[in-house]
Amino acid sequence: MRLVKPKDIRNTQYFSIGAFLIILNYFRHRFLGYKTTRAFPISKTSQAVEYDLNVVRGWVNALADYTQNSDFLKGKVVLELGPGADLGIGLILLAMGARKYIAFDVNPLARNTPVEFYDRLLSVLSAKFPGVKESYLRGQLEKAHAGNPENLEYIVDSNFYIAGLKENPEIVFGQAAFEHFFDIQKSLSELSGIVKPGCVMVSLVDLKTHTAWIRPRDPLNIYRYGRKFWGAFQFAGSPNRIRSFEYKNILENNHWHNVKVEPLTVLEDSYVEQVKPTLSEPFRSLETSELRNLSIMLLATKS
């Protein structure tokens, strides 16, 4: 767990700057669309490959700790919600023994991934997993791109209708995706209806402000604004401001058990106490222990 304490507190100033950035982002996304999910472009091949490897490493370690089974992934049908810029994670999971990988997204970002990225990733995977044939992974990627998927499938649905999936996943992964779901109640309800009993969820959820400049300076900035202002400038992909305890409650209400919220990045309590009085309701009324969570790993098992 990493502890964060911003250098200074400028509540009034950051309220004004944050509001300006929210409005700016609204118009930018309205006219330019949703272009990226990361702080760097997919064209930075080595960085993108390392990013995917690190994401999977975090998931698999959390999965092994949660299930007490280091081989839980093997032979499983895996669903990733909101894969973003590429299908590299799917190739990594297949190389690690998953039976099938399904990527489900609302934006077709992974349709424009440079060939150089996959060439680099497959080279790395061939060295890392010598028992896995590169020809198998490349063949699965080609079939996915051709619209004839076998064990690697990419589904884009602008309505994000999870209930329409034909497979019954045994593992659900997410990486900074859940916080972008517009109707989290609906999405998790639909997900709960298609997964197999015993399905395990492992999802990293990013709860902090997303806009690059203000994020390190005022990580709770998105919680400063009332429902009316926030709602007026929401766009597809903007943070839903759902907090840790709400994810837990929604999952339990949809018959997931052993739900765990593991903080990964947290604010220092003294910082939260100084900022909390300036937040909008209902966030101002939350416990400091809840507001200090900036990122969490959400784990659960479907009954």
pTM of the predicted structure, to 2 decimals? 0.95
Look at residue 38 in the predicted model and tell me its pLDDT. 77
Q: Is the pLDDT of residue 273 over 70?
A: yes
Q: Residue 76 has which token pair?
A: 């499983």
8 Å CB contact between 154 and 144: yes
8 Å CB contact between 294 and 61: no
Angle, CA 200 vertex, CA 256 and CA 66 arms, to 5°: 100
Look at residue 30 in the predicted model and tell me its pLDDT. 84
Residues 171-214 pLDDT 10s: 999 999 999 999 999 999 999 999 999 999 999 999 999 998 99
Beta-bridged to residue 281, according to DSSP, are none
**6: amino acid identity, one letter:** P
Look at residue 210 in the predicted model and tell me its pLDDT. 93
Which helix (H) or strand (E) segment is 194 a member of?
helix 184-194
Look at residue 32 in the predicted model and tell me its pLDDT. 77
Residues 98-143 pLDDT 10s: 999 999 999 999 999 999 999 999 999 999 999 999 999 999 999 9
**Domains in the chain, start-ordered, CATH in brackets?**
2-302 (3.40.50.150)
Whole-number Å distance between alpha carbons of 163 and 259: 22
Nearest by Cα to 300 from 233, 254, 231, 237: 254
- Mode of pairing for the β-strands spanning 256-267 and 293-302: antiparallel
Q: Is the pLDDT of residue 35 over 70?
A: no
Which helix (H) or strand (E) segment is 80 a member of?
strand 77-81
DSSP character for 197? Answer: T
